[in-house]
Amino acid sequence: MFNLFKKKEPEKTVNPFIELRSHYMGNVQLKDWPKEDLTTHPWSLFVEARKQLLAKNNTEAEKIYRQIVETPDLEPRHYMQAWMFLRYFLKVQPSPEIAKTVYAVMVEVSTETGVMSVVAYTDHKARSLHSAGGGVVWENPNNALNEQTDALIKTAEAALEAIPLVVVDVLPNPPKQKDHVLISIATPLGIYHGLGTGEFMWNDPHAGPILNAGGNLLKALEGLKK
């Protein structure tokens, strides 16, 4: 019998910070990239690939995702998403020649007031956001932050060549403990990441330069508010 007094399950609320950081790192679910059936390029390709996937036409879906990753001059997040879908749904792995190509780098620090995140992309765009709210979106209207974004990308590239970082398909959760740092590096093969205390990471010969570059980019982004 239907129970009028049965307690309803609470609706799941979306944490805007968690949602934004996933968007910033090209790591959202299939239904969310894009949320609607957009017709502009390259969104239309993602929409068609999604339709083919849901219809279990995997061969056609793979063709479209490959078309996306082979199209030059797209926003890096499109490449990141396409490779995520290729790996996760179609079990397609990138060739060794491009597997460690860096598309974006995110540095996150847990502080007393929450988590501060900064992201750099290979097209010189950048983002900052805080778990308590606020942040900066830099769409590269000029070359003012080219030096800072390049520095963060290059230090991450150097780290990937030097050390065997852990790679995963899904973006790791932000650091929870105070004064802990998470570095996430997006590539065709997945998201390489490293987590540790601020002291340990700063003193690490590979993580230290990434933190320094991330700090410089964050300072430049925050300076745009003034």
Domain-wise residue ranges, the chain: 16-90, 104-223
Q: Report the pLDDT value the prediction gives residue 2, as an integer from 0 to 100.
A: 41
User: How high does pLDDT run on average in the chain?
Assistant: 94
Q: Report the pLDDT value the prediction gives residue 14, as an integer from 0 to 100.
A: 72
Is residue 56 predicted with pLDDT exceeding 90? yes
Average pLDDT over residues 145-154: 99
- Tell me: the pLDDT tens digits for 128-138? 999 999 999 99
Paired tokens of 97: 């020649």
Is residue 7 predicted with pLDDT exceeding 60? no
- Tell me: the pLDDT tens digits for 68-87? 999 999 999 999 999 999 99
Average pLDDT over residues 180-202: 97
Q: How far is the C-alpha of 104 from the C-alpha of 121, rounded, in Å? A: 4
Q: Report the pLDDT value the prediction gives residue 10, as an integer from 0 to 100.
A: 52
Paired tokens of 24: 């910033």
For residue 132, count CB atoms less than 10 angstroms from its CB and return exposed for 0-12, middle for 13-18, buried for 19 or more: exposed
